[in-house]
Structure 1
Amino acid sequence: MEALGGYPTKSSASRAKLLKILLSVALCMGSLYLIQIKVSKSRKPKDFYSYEVKDARGKTVSLGKYRGKASLVVNVASGSELTELNYRSLQELHRELGTSHFNVLAFPCSQYGDTESGTSREIEAFARSNYGVTFPIFSKIKIMGSEAEPAFKFITDSIQRIPKWNFWKFLVNSEGQVVNFWKPEEPIEEIRKEVTTLVRNIILKKRQEL
């Protein structure tokens, strides 16, 4: 409604001023949201060692402690037909090459049949007592679906494949990038050759930097 002479009333002028303020606030909020998204993207982990995971006791562990080393990341299980062969061969590899420059990193997963039904602590105790395992065994995780462990999802996204069964093995270099992977049926001898070469290169690089 306008006053006589075509001039706006005080009420309409106040509304226009309020709308202008609300529009400015909305624009500011939108800008802040876009900045937040940009910052979040820039902080997204760019390598395996940038993530944190839980150990078998539920304590948060930074994978950054393994940076500068080679890692063989494995989705393990206690009740698989592949358990004994793999645990023994992985422990042998860990003992031969670790732990100054190499580690086996085990992630139990219960998404492959009824092959990993225990708690994380039970899984760790089983591997230690039955196979003398000394490499790190982390908390039981999911690999498939929306609840997939972020650190392991980084690995599967890197190779564009998801394990179809237990004991897939993923070789991560000293910078935290996935450089190769093996299915469970592939012989440990082939894996040992490539892991040994990677470890040797890491040692040579460190010597050159001294």
Structure 2
Amino acid sequence: MEALGGYPTKSSNQKAKKLTVLLSMTVGVGCLFLLQTQLVRQRKHNDFYSFEVQDAKGRTVSLEKYRGKASLVVNVASHSEQTEANYMFLQELHRELGPSLFNVLAFPCGQYGDTEQGTSRDIEAFARSTYGVTFPFFSRIKILGSQSDPAFKFLTDSVQKIPKWNFWKFLVSPEGKVLRFWRTDEPMESVRQEATALVRELILKKRVEL
């Protein structure tokens, strides 16, 4: 209600001040919450093992279970010209070095031509029945574009390279840091040497701790 002459009353001024203070406090609290959420998110995802992903059956899996081990993370495909050679090599490496200190972690991706189709369960079942692989499989992901999987994006951001085809390989340390990556056409023997050397370091470290 206004006084004669159009001037606001003292009561109106007090209400306006209270409303302004309330709005300012609300905005301030909101900003602090967003800032805190961002900081927590940054702390939470400072290494590969801090992420959660979906397995081939659609269940949420924490990569934390692989912390303390070396990992070779690979974007796999079922119908690529490199599929057979890579699956045979990856399974051999997984059998030789893992799984107590080393794991191959397979992430199917269908963004490279028609090399990966079907559901995540179908992809996993095909690899296991056709090539006898035993290493962990996860849900099919996207690597290219704005919908790229956060865990895999951590790998590509770490090396500042995005896979141009299937079967790029990322060697991840026991602490979750990316040590090296290999393109599809690079020698697999180099992958074996680097992964083996990292596992040997882990073995020596554990012996010293004992």
**TM-score computed with the length of structure 2 as normaliser:** 0.93
Tell me how far apart the structure 1 counterparts of residues 71 and 78 of structure 2 sit (CA, whole Å): 21
Deviations 1:86-116 (A, max 9, x none): 0000000000000011000000000000010
Q: Secondary structure of 1:18's partner? A: helix
Please state how far the C-alpha of 1:19 moved relative to its aligned partner.
1.8
Within the alignment, does 1:143 sit opposite 2:143 as a pair? yes
Measured in 2, the distance between the counterparts of 1:19 and 1:161 equals 55
Q: Distance in 2 between matches of 1:85 and 1:61?
A: 28
1:116-155 to 2 correspondences below 5 Å: 116-155=116-155
Match of 2:52 in 1: 52
Aligned to 2:40: 43
- Cα RMSD of the aligned pairs, angstroms, is 1.6
Other-structure match for 2:101: 101
Aligned to 2:20: 23
* Residue correspondences, number: 206
Which portions of structure 1, spanning 4 or more consecutive aligned residues, are displaced by more than 3 angstroms? Answer: 1-4
User: 1:187 deviation in Å?
Assistant: 1.3
Q: Which letter does structure 2 place at the counterpart of 1:138?
A: F
CA distance in 1, matches of 2:66, 2:26: 40
Deviation at 1:14, TM superposition (A): 2.6
How far the C-alpha of 1:52 sits from its partner, in A, is: 0.5
| Alpha-carbon distance, 1:27 to partner | 1.7
User: Which consecutive residues of structure 1, in runs of 5 or more, have no partner in the other structure?
Assistant: none
1:28 is matched by which residue type in structure 2? M
- Counterpart amino acid of 1:26? L
Unmatched tracts of structure 2, length 5 or more: none
Query: How far, CA to CA, are the matches of 1:16 and 1:202 in structure 2?
Result: 70
Shift of 1:178: 0.6
* Separation in structure 2 between the aligned mates of residue 145 and residue 22 of structure 1, nearest angstrom: 44
- Counterparts of 1:68 and 1:178, CA distance in 2: 14
Q: Kindly provide the amino acid, as one letter, of the partner of residue 173 in structure 1.
A: S
| Equivalent position of 1:185 in the other structure | 185
Say which of 31, 36, 40 aligns to 1:34.
Answer: 31
> 2: distance between equivalents of 1:207 and 1:32?
51
- Which residue identity is paired with 1:33? G
Corresponding letter in the other structure for 1:170: F
1:26: Cα distance to partner? 1.9
Q: Name the counterpart of 2:168.
A: 168
Per-residue Cα deviation, 1:120-174 (whole angstroms, up to 9, x for no partner): 0000000000111000010000011111111011111111111000000001000
Please tell me the residue identity of whatever aligns with 2:81.
E
TM-score (norm 1): 0.93
Moved more, 165-174 or 17-26: 17-26
